[in-house]
Amino acid sequence: MLAGSSSVLRRAAGAARAAPLRAAARCAAGVADRRGAGGVRGAGAAHCGPAAAAIGPVGRAPSRRAPGARRRRSPPAPPARATGAGAAAPPLAGFRLAPEEVAALQRERGCSLDSLLLSLLPAAARLARPPVSNYFVGAVGLAPSGAAYVGVNLEFPGAPLSQSVHAEQFLVANLLAHGEGGLDSLAVSAAPCGHCRQFYSELACADSVRFLFSPLGSATQEVTRLSDLLPARFGPLDLLEPGSAPLLLEKQDNRLRWAPAARAAVGARAGDGAFARAAEAALEAARRSYSPYTRCPSGVALVARGGRVYSGGYSENAAHNPGLAPLQAAVAGAVIGGLAGYKEIEEVVVAELQRGLVQQAGVAGAVARAAAGNAQLPVTVLHVEWDES
């Protein structure tokens, strides 16, 4: 070893150990700046509520806790009340703001649309259902119709974490549930994870969506495209001929009908109004589902306490794993519709092909039973077939 090299190595090692602390300090300073500013600044836009990257349940800033120390979990703060322009964002009453509501909020608060979307993130995150991590995430998107849609993360106690729904995925399920055909802008608490970047590669409008977030340690808003977040990505055009199939958020029309046995099963329960509505909802969700790679459309409907019915369809992905299963889409629909808790689910109805290469019923039943805490939760499988007539 060269003379003096050991001292050089010691200095380098010390610098390496100090680097994360310096980075954390810079991040904390940036957070303090954002809190003091009272909002995320857009390019020349007025402030419009709390910082989109607010620390706490919504934020994603790294902790400086000692190695091995347990992370302290805190519930979300109560919704803040709006008192005019520059005040805290109003709590959201639901998962959709009509175009006229968006316009009224923007006028009232005197800010840009981007700043308005970012200001709604804390209120959106309070609608999340993360019983495993207690980590609340919100997303707010603007559709071409002018309506704003909310997405939140969902977790299922007793089920693998891989069954969780990311806020960005929930938002797409929300768009589909309301018949929206596109997405203009998406505000998120921090840069989307790799899973969601791949999921958004499936959208027909993937190249035009504007992603709004504040990088850690920054007090400025960043507008990014998917091509920057996921360059040289693998997506639909790697597996499909251009124009050969409608992409996600485009209208789907899977020509499906009940197989004879399923038709008989539905007829046998004709007196059960909730089941009849759930069966029809599951079939319709399968018809609108997105499965261009496997040709295995499927839909799920949930019968909840009081005879309420919620449904959702399968959204496939070129990379397989980042897709959204029909059970998760149905649960998103249930949360949008006011489901108070998973224990309110009384039956799961699955519509899928009998001999499809991809089957949903087994996993859907296992996840629903775990989440509801009911090992006897009924799971009814109704097979569909292609209508060639």
Measured between alpha carbons, how far is residue 310 from residues 291, 299, 365, 371 in Å? Answer: 21, 11, 16, 16
Query: Are β-strands 210-213 and 185-188 bridged in parallel, bridged antiparallel, or unpaired?
Result: parallel
Measure CA of the first residue to CA of the last residue in the chain; give whole Å. 81
CA–CA separation, 94 vs 344, rounded Å? 19
Q: Active site residue: 100, 108, 168, 385, which one?
A: 168
Q: Which residue bears the tokens 């998406």?
A: 186
- Tokens representing 187? 């505000």
- Between CA 186 and CA 181 the distance in angstroms is 15
State which amino acid sits at residue 174. N
Q: Which two tokens stand for residue 223?
A: 């507008």
> 173 is written with which tokens?
């399920």
Six-digit token pair at 227?
């091509």
Report the distance separating Cα 373 and Cα 367, nearest Å: 10
Residue 292: both structure tokens together: 């261009």
Closest CA to 169 of 136, 203, 135, 120: 203
* Separation CA 67–CA 356 (nearest Å): 48
Q: How far apart are CA 259 and CA 264, in angstroms?
A: 9
Q: Which residue has the tokens 């070893």?
A: 1
**Containing H/E element for 101?**
helix 99-109
CB atoms within 10 A of CB 153: 22
Give yes or no: 168 in active site.
Answer: yes
Catalytic machinery residues: 168
